[in-house]
Amino acid sequence: MTNTESQEMRHPPVFRKLHGLIMWSILLLVVTGFYIHYPFVDGQGFLMSLARGVHFLFAGVLTVAGLARFIMMFVGKNRDWKSFIPTLKDFALMPKLIAHYLHLCKEPELSKKYNPLQMTTYFMVFLFIIFQILSGLALLFPESFMAWFNYGIFGNEYTSRIWHYIITWIFVFILLIHLYLAIRQGRGNEAEDIKEMHSVNTADEKE
We find the least distance from the C-beta atom of residue 40 to ligand HEM, in angstroms, to be 12
Residue 178, number of CB atoms within 10 A of its CB: 16
H/E stretch holding 185 reads: helix 157-186
We find the least distance from the C-beta atom of residue 192 to ligand HEM, in angstroms, to be 33
Dist. CA 59–CA 16, nearest whole Å? 19
Residue 19, number of CB atoms within 10 A of its CB: 13
Of 105 and 177, which CB lies nearer to ligand HEM in the complex structure?
177
Of 63 and 121, which CB lies nearer to ligand HEM in the complex structure?
63
Of 4 and 44, which CB lies nearer to ligand HEM in the complex structure?
44
Q: Which residues form the interface with ligand HEM (CB under 6 A)?
A: 26, 29-30, 33-34, 36-37, 52, 55, 59, 62-63, 132-133, 136-137, 139-140, 161, 164-165, 168, 171
Dist. CA 89–CA 124, nearest whole Å? 19
The answer to whether 164 touches 132, Cβ cutoff 8 Å, is yes
We find the least distance from the C-beta atom of residue 133 to ligand HEM, in angstroms, to be 4
CA nearest to 110, candidates 136, 128, 133, 92: 92
We find the least distance from the C-beta atom of residue 202 to ligand HEM, in angstroms, to be 35
We find the least distance from the C-beta atom of residue 67 to ligand HEM, in angstroms, to be 12
Of 52 and 96, which CB lies nearer to ligand HEM in the complex structure?
52
CA dihedral 131, 136, 139, 142 (to 10 degrees): -70
The answer to whether 123 touches 138, Cβ cutoff 8 Å, is no
Of 9 and 175, which CB lies nearer to ligand HEM in the complex structure?
175
We find the least distance from the C-beta atom of residue 101 to ligand HEM, in angstroms, to be 25
∠ Cα 141 143 148 (to 5°)? 90
Dist. CA 207–CA 197, nearest whole Å? 16
Of 1 and 166, which CB lies nearer to ligand HEM in the complex structure?
166
